[in-house]
Structure 1
Amino acid sequence: MEYSMSIPEEILFDIFSWLPVKSLMRFRCISQYFNSLVCEPYFVDIHQCHSRIRTKLLVRQWDLVGKRNFYYTIEQNASHRRVHIEDYFDGLTNVIDLKGYFVECVNGLFCFWSCISQVVVICNPSTRQVRFLPCIKHEYDGLGHGQFLFGYEPKDEVYKVVFVKRDEHDISAARCWIFSLGIDESWKEIDRAPCCFYYGQECVCIKGVIYVSSGNSQEQNIIAFDLKGESFRIIALWKDALPYYFNLIEMEGKLGIVENNTMINGETINLWMLGNIGWERHVIIGFPMEGCPIVHCLSQTYGGKINIIFIAKVNQSCDDTLSYLLCCYDFSRKSWTRREIINGGWIQHIYRWVETLFPLKHICIDADSTSRV
């Protein structure tokens, strides 16, 4: 029997826009109205705006005993609560082995990729949807090592996956392919790709631009890819910048770089922000743990303030159990908060994660792959 509403639609819309995705998926079974509401593009956008207020930290950790990755979230308002979400990735682990895969996360969507097998997988853990992208068609046998990038273009509201690799016949040149989710049925190749890409490098997407670190031991640059114009540009670093010792983060809609090599015995940490006239240096004072190497860091806006989250490796016991300290730096107050000790396996990455209803059903699926909804 069709559900008869006694609450005005505008009030239901507002209430539902604040609910977690798991609850909304259950409500879809009640009536046709609820089912269509959850799939409405305008509702999906409003819900994601509300979800950003409840941004979580998602940790990808390697289980030393089980020899596999597992994922869990840590909420800002409940720092000691861990919510394991590895069940959400069953649709992937049942199909392919993700041990050697790189992972990018943008607005709650995950992109898993392997530069060797050329498999690219898009996953929405909130709705438990998985899609495999088609293979790149080219005239050479094997693409070889390259770099996949994943980002969101806010003006056209489209997600794009970018693949860049050096040309097999010209080491001074590079080739680039792009796939727009929900639009393209196959990869398209573009020109004007820089050749200084190395796979597995640090990257971050800010306001429709993907920034990725690249270079070698003598010279380091930042490569920016504009998702709207589908073009590259190279950004030089500040004078005396040391390669391979920094993390890319977002700071107030700008690119920020944390020099984690400056963290020695509680000394200051340099934070560089890319402004209109170049790089601006800010100082993060007194890391709360002495002699602990920084594994990873990211920024997070919560309650109107900017926090920089640091994961530091504390020690490794005789039984190979690793301990990590999660520290939060309030950029406005210039103060530190220790939030949690993370015990267990090797932490591979930490992401900002928001729940999203973004549907993957319109994404082209490779004929040789499967999907789970």
Structure 2
Amino acid sequence: MYANGLFCVWNQDVESVIICNPSTREVIRLSNLRKPPSSVDFDPSYNYSLGYEPEENKYKILMTCDASLGPTRNWVFTLGIDESWREIESSFMIDFVPIFNGRVCIDGVIYMFDCKDNFIAAFNVKTENFRIIKLCDDLSPLFNPNFKLIE
């Protein structure tokens, strides 16, 4: 994923997420948080989304963990400020799994297609809140996990 000059690189089978700046060739490897919840007997699915908040000039990485046994859990890491991941609470319970290529950051909001239902989850990088954008029912039969969001 790309946001304002930085790339977020990760692989489900690799333990850490990497942030890289191709113009300076700087690479930052973030701390590892990926541990399955104790009530789960299998490895959960992790997804990372990079966001840029232009007003405060901050980059944040959103990590979503879907254990398929309840609502998605979310953590945030602010580059240059946080030393570890912070779990965030949402004002409403959302259970979503972002599509791998189906996300983009525009004007401080990370938009993510959901794999399971017919909506886009919008994460405000500044306030660290989610909102749901319901898609029209006519799109459901056409929905494809290979869809991409573009700016």
Bin for the TM-score computed over the shorter chain: 0.7 to 0.9
Percent identity, aligned pairs only? 40
Contact 1:146 1:199 (C-alpha < 8 Å) held by counterparts: no
Please say if residues 118 and 137 of structure 2, whose CA atoms lie closer than 8 Å, have aligned partners that are also in contact.
Answer: no
Cα distance, 1:143 vs. partner? 5.5
Equivalent runs, 1:121-140 vs 2, <5 Å: 121-136=18-33, 140=37
1:290 corresponds in structure 2 to: none
Structure 2 contact 96–114 (Cα < 8 Å) conserved: yes
Distance 1:136 1:199, change over 3 A: farther
Query: Contact 1:111–1:121 at 8 Å: present in 2 too?
Result: yes
- 1:215 pairs, out of 110, 115, 137, with 115
Deviation of residue 117 (structure 1)?
A: 2.6
**Over residues 144-169 of structure 1, what are the superposed CA-to-partner deviations in whole Å (9 max), with x where a residue is unaligned?**
3122111101121100001111246x
What whole-Å deviation, never above 9, does each CA across 1:44-77 have from its counterpart, x for those lacking one? xxxxxxxxxxxxxxxxxxxxxxxxxxxxxxxxxx
Tell me, yes or no, if structure 1 residue 249 matches structure 2 residue 150: yes
Among 52, 55, 70, the alignment partner of 1:172 is 70
Alpha-carbon spacing, 1:140–1:246, altered in 2? closer, same or farther (3 Å): closer
Shift of the 146–201 alpha-carbon distance from structure 1 to 2, 3 Å rule, reads farther
1:161 corresponds in structure 2 to 61
Q: Report matched runs for 1:208-287 at 5 Å.
A: 208-216=108-116, 219-241=117-139, 242-244=142-144, 246-250=147-151
Cα separation, 1, equivalents of 2:34 and 2:150: 33
Shift of 1:204: 0.8
Query: Are the structure 2 counterparts of residues 232 and 143 from structure 1 closer, same or farther at C-alpha, using a change threshold of 3 Å?
Result: farther
Contact 1:137 1:187 in 2 (8 A): no
8 Å Cα contact 2:101-2:147 kept in structure 1: no
State how far apart, in whole Å, the 2-side matches of 1:129 and 1:135 are.
Answer: 19
Unaligned runs of 5+ in 2: none
Equivalent positions of 1:69-218 (< 5 A) are 104-136=1-33, 140=37, 144-167=44-67, 171-192=69-90, 194-198=94-98, 200-216=100-116
Q: How much has 1:227 moved relative to structure 2?
A: 0.7
Whole-Å separation in 1 of the counterparts to 2:87 and 2:135? 29
Which structure: greater helix fraction? 1
Residue 139 of structure 1 deviates from its aligned partner by: 6.9
Distance 1:118 1:199, change over 3 A: farther
C-alpha RMSD over aligned residues: 2.2
Q: 1:149 to 1:223 in 2, by over 3 A?
A: same
Structure 1's unaligned 5+ residue stretches are 1-103, 251-373
After the TM superposition, which parts of structure 1 deviate over 4 Å for at least 4 consecutive aligned residues?
none
Letter aligned with residue 7 of structure 2: F
The offset of 1:220, in angstroms, is: 2.1
Q: Which amino acid aligns with 1:127?
A: T
Query: How far is the alpha carbon of 1:198 from its aligned partner?
Result: 4.1
Q: How many angstroms apart in 2 are the aligned matches of 1:137 and 1:247?
A: 26
Within 1, Cα distance between the matches of 2:36 and 2:102?
A: 29
Alpha-carbon displacement from aligned partner over 1:303-324 (angstroms, at most 9, x marks no partner): xxxxxxxxxxxxxxxxxxxxxx
Q: Give the letter aligned to residue 153 of structure 1.
A: E
> How far apart, in 1, do the equivalents of 2:76 and 2:27 lie?
19
TM-score, normalised with respect to structure 2: 0.83
Change (3 A) 1:246 1:199: closer
CA shift for structure 1 position 201: 4.0
Q: Provide the secondary structure at the position in 2 that maps to 1:240.
A: helix
Whole-angstrom CA distance in 2 between matches of 1:211 and 1:136: 23
